Amino acid sequence: MSNNNEIKIALKSWENEQTRFNKVLDKISDETLLQEVAPAKNTGIYLLGHLAAVTDAMMPLLGLGQKLYPDAEKIFITTPDKAGQAMPTAAEVKTMFAKVNTAFSEAIKNMPEEEWLHKHNSVSAEDFAKEPHRNKLSVLLSRTVHQAYHGGQISLLV
């Protein structure tokens, strides 16, 4: 069996996560998305924006292109929820999530499979020589798990 199969499994895991996540998201109205997932916890809109921003950041990290929403990092990653930042509307954040995921899916569709085994852009060539598991595939896996974590929280709004 070739490397290809392991790579396919990881890509399939990402796709499955997107499908599952979008099924949940389709059941959440814009109004409900503004609510906290549990009392005094993050709002659905913040978590959705956070996931969109994290996927968008994979574009430069994996050498796939520029971010679509460079401002999202400040609003949804470096600033915590309910810290007074100006926030797009729920509909805008849903659109952002969909656009980022479409762009990312398109970009990885055109990526040669062996490229997944290359280093990602936040590891130096020296470190990668010592730690060859710090490749693009490991980034995708870690983001899949990260989305599932917050996806479980957002699903509480259904």
Task: Write out the residues near its own copies by the rule CB under 8 A.
Answer: 1, 3, 5-10, 12-13, 16-17, 37-39, 41, 117, 132-133, 135, 137-138, 141-142, 144-146, 148-153, 155-156
- Toward its own copies, which CB reaches closer, 37 or 111? 37
CB 153 to its own copies: min, Å: 5
Q: What is the three-state SS of 11-59?
A: HHHHHHHHHHHHHHHCCCCHHHHCCECCCCCCEHHHHHHHHHHHHHHHH
**Pairwise CA distance, residues 119 & 127, whole Å:** 10
Between 71 and 127, whose beta carbon lies closer to its own copies? 127
Find the shortest distance in angstroms from Cβ 109 to its own copies: 17
* Beta carbon of residue 104, minimum distance to its own copies (angstroms, whole number): 17
Task: Specify the residue, 9 or 91, whose C-beta has the smaller distance to its own copies.
Answer: 9
Instruction: Please give the Cα distance from 29 to 68 (Å, whole number).
Output: 24
Instruction: Measure Cα distances from 58 to 14, 26, 45 in Å.
Output: 13, 24, 20
Pick 6 or 71: Cβ nearer its own copies: 6
